[in-house]
Amino acid sequence: MAGIAPHWNEFETRDALAASLADVVAEVLRTAISRRGEAFLAVSGGSTPGRFFAALSREELDWGKVTVTLVDERFVPETSSRSNASLAKANLLQNAASAARFAPLFHEATTVEDGAHLADSALKTLPWPLDAAILGMGGDGHTASFFPDAQSLDVLLDPASTRIVMPVHAQTAGEPRLTLTLPALVNAGLVVIHIEGAEKRNVIEAALAAEEPLPIRTVIDRAPRAAEIYWAP
Ligand SMILES: O=C(O)C(O)[C@@H](O)[C@H](O)[C@H](O)COP(=O)(O)O
């Protein structure tokens, strides 16, 4: 199915992108706080969000009323250099944003399946829907932990899923992962795809043009509002 075409936001530099995206997300959080008394944000890990995290962490707003979670996580504790929780805490939950509440996806468990159940129950108590979901994208067209070679990708991408968090096994992912499901992500008030560099631009343009959708295309197509692509060279 072809969904609503995404909206492109292009910047000359990665710093300019980070500043603009931080302003937009801060405004979404302020609006949510004034409308419902709290705000709920999901962010990505990986190497791209660093500048955005630094800019957002300095935005003045009532961070004590904000809950931050992750769009996906590696099944590793926070002591691991691969932990997205540790990345978000070290870079986003700083400065003004240190007052925010953080809701992790990783929970100690023997298997990623058990860990996903624990995260699913914990996250069910949070104020859904998300006000904003900030996604990244890999060069293979994955977003969150929707890897093209993930086992049961159709279950992770099921628009009718009643799960919030699912375990992911994919050869290309490195370790097992935890991901928010498609409906948990695309029902966010604002869905952003933050990508940088010519290569990722080529990947997303090819995904939007192709008949056979990559996971990033499925997410864009299933979003009830136009996804916002933020890109800088
Ligand atoms: O934990 C992760 O790795 C992610 O959340 C993932 O979906 C990421 O956004 C992309 O892989 C892009 O990663 P880079 O920003 O490192 O290119």
Ligand 1 center from residue 36 Cα (angstroms): 30
Model confidence over 89-123: pLDDT tens digits? 999 999 999 999 999 999 999 999 999 999 999 99
The pLDDT value given to residue 115:
98
Angle (nearest 5°) at CA 154 between 151 and 159: 140
Ligand 1 center from residue 57 Cα (angstroms): 20
Mutation choice for ligand 1 from 14, 21, 43, 48, CB with most ligand atoms inside 8 A: 48
Q: What atom in ligand 1 is closest to the CA of residue 135?
A: 9
Ligand 1 center from residue 204 Cα (angstroms): 14
Pocket of ligand 1 (CB under 6 A): 44-48, 71-72, 84, 136-138, 143-144
Place of tokens 């809701």: 103
At 3, the pLDDT band (50, 70, 90 cuts) reads confident
pLDDT at 8 over 80: yes
Beta bridge partners of 102: 68
Model confidence over 126-159: pLDDT tens digits? 999 999 999 999 999 999 999 999 999 999 999 9
Q: What atom in ligand 1 is closest to the CA of residue 73?
A: 1
At 186, the pLDDT band (50, 70, 90 cuts) reads very high
Model confidence over 53-90: pLDDT tens digits? 999 999 999 999 999 999 999 999 999 999 999 999 99
Confidence (pTM): 0.98
The pLDDT value given to residue 98:
98
- Strand ranges across the sheet with 101-102: 7-10, 228-232, 190-196, 132-135, 39-43, 66-70, 101-102
CB atoms within 10 A of CB 108: 8
pLDDT at 51 over 90: yes
pLDDT at 1 over 70: no
CA distances from 101 to 40, 47, 233 (A): 10, 22, 33
The pLDDT value given to residue 211:
74
Residue nearest to atom 3 of ligand 1 (CA): 46
Ligand 1 center from residue 143 Cα (angstroms): 7
The pLDDT value given to residue 230:
98
Q: For residues 202-208, give the mean pLDDT.
A: 96
R_g of the chain, CA atoms, integer Å: 16
The pLDDT value given to residue 213:
83
Tell me how far apart the alpha carbons of residues 99 and 178 are, in angstroms, rounded to a whole number.
25
Q: What atom in ligand 1 is closest to the CA of residue 84?
A: 1
Mutation choice for ligand 1 from 21, 135, 143, CB with most ligand atoms inside 8 A: 143
